[in-house]
Structure 1
Amino acid sequence: MRRFARRRSEPTIALINVVFLLLTFFLVAGAIGARPPAGLQLAHLTGGDPAPMRGTVALDAEGTPLWPEGVADAAGFVATLPAESAGTARILPDRAAPAAALVALARALRAAGAQEVRILAEREGKE
């Protein structure tokens, strides 16, 4: 009587599957996150919690608002705020942006219906 030896499965197949799933996850997660405009130098803060990029308008060094794609003004921006943010608009100002432009943008967002306006900055010591 002849016995057949049971063949062991190849362990590298499972490893390849896991690596492929991780690669897919990070590709999708990286595509979802919005990036700040190129060349934007953020203001520094000494403390605070990091905030997400969703519901954010950038303000460049000349004081010009850089609206997200498909938005032309403060009212359009406030209308696109996600429901989970409870009407919180975020401004991502350039370090060299004029203070008057920042205040004017914050007032325009409040007048357009934003419940709260937050200013985002870079944490001190994070280069």
Structure 2
Amino acid sequence: MRRASSRREPTIALINVVFLMLVFFMVAGTIAPPLSREVALVRADEMEGRAPPDALVIFADGRMEFRGRQVASAAAYLGGLTEAERQAVRLVPDRDLPAARLVALAAEMRAAGAGAVMIVTERGLR
């Protein structure tokens, strides 16, 4: 006579893992003290944004501008920076600038001696 083998349901292990994760996040979430009810946070949804003063602005048509002056090329832009400023270069691209142009410009910056190329973007919290 053959004994019927019992197979465990695989979802039981999944339920156990999910339950343990739930308990972990409940405990971890209570570690941080809540903000005081008397504190009113700053509202930034209507603030006027502008490019950082040390960033290269790139327009949709590919023109580049730094501190209000036109820049001819990536090499010309980097030529006017100090060695310390070249370590972290910030680019502010127009949202309509083609991505291929932005990637090519970042590659030009790296080839011309830029340490890190950072792209400054708008952050939406809505």
TM-score, scaled relative to structure 1 = 0.50
For these two proteins, the number of residue pairs brought into alignment is 75
For residues 101-112 of structure 1, the aligned pairs below 5 Å read 101-112=101-112
Q: Provide the residue aligned with 1:76 in structure 2.
A: 76
Contact between 2:57 and 2:91, CA under 8 Å: does it hold in 1? yes
Contact between 1:57 and 1:65, CA under 8 Å: does it hold in 2? no
Mark the CA change 1:86 to 1:100 in structure 2 (over 3 Å): closer, same or farther. Answer: closer
Please, which runs of 5 or more residues in structure 2 have no aligned partner? Answer: 1-49
Contact between 1:58 and 1:93, CA under 8 Å: does it hold in 2? yes
Identity of aligned residues (%): 39
Distance 1:70 1:101 in 2: 18
Q: Provide the residue aligned with 1:121 in structure 2.
A: 121
One-letter amino acid of the structure 2 residue matched with residue 122 of structure 1? E
User: Per chain length, whose mean CA-contact separation is higher, i.e. which structure has more relative contact order (CA < 8 Å, sep 6+)?
Assistant: 1
Please, which runs of 5 or more residues in structure 1 have no aligned partner? Answer: 1-34, 37-51
Are 1:92 and 2:92 counterparts? yes
Structure label with greater radius of gyration: 2
TM-score, scaled relative to structure 2 = 0.50
